[in-house]
Amino acid sequence: MKAQETVDYHIKITWHSIVNLYNQIALKYNLTQAIGYVLLHIDKNGSPATSIAPLMGMKATSLSRILKNMEIDGLICRKKDHSDGRLVKIYLTELGVQKQKISKKVVREFNEYIIARIDPKKIDCYREVMGDLLRLTEEYSIKKLS
């Protein structure tokens, strides 16, 4: 089977193209694609650090490095939860809120650009197929790793 015939090849090259685009845009705002993506997953009322990684499909160790850099850059701060002292929540700083707005705008504009140029039926089909791929990947993982 040639690389171009595999399902994952098309996902990978498309995702790399999108990441490169987002990184080029992010540089204008002193951000990276990864930091922008994390900013999109932090709630205005704070988000538990443990809940962010799964939302992004990342391992906690990879996220912790990004969060540390975001804290150094003044985008986030960590606070213990008032009701449960064991829980640490991530909050956006004023600068983080500004950068989150930029990240949302960039993602929204890119998605609007794509959606305006592809037939809605194809978009629906794409979402359905991607959902199937996620489900089947998880199913295959359980089967192969058990």
pLDDT tens across the length of the chain (146 residues): 999 999 999 999 999 999 999 999 999 999 999 999 999 999 999 998 888 988 888 888 889 999 999 999 999 999 987 888 788 899 999 999 999 999 999 999 999 999 999 999 999 999 999 999 999 999 999 999 98
Domains of the chain: residue spans and CATH: 3-145 (1.10.10.10)
**What local confidence, expressed as pLDDT, does residue 83 receive?**
82
d(CA 23, CA 15): 12
Task: Measure the CA angle with vertex 94, ends 60 and 26; round to 5°.
Answer: 65
**What local confidence, expressed as pLDDT, does residue 97 receive?**
98
**What local confidence, expressed as pLDDT, does residue 146 receive?**
85
**What local confidence, expressed as pLDDT, does residue 105 receive?**
98
- Rounded to the nearest angstrom, the gap between the alpha carbon of residue 139 and the centroid of all alpha carbons in its chain is 22
**What local confidence, expressed as pLDDT, does residue 125 receive?**
98
d(CA 49, CA 94): 19
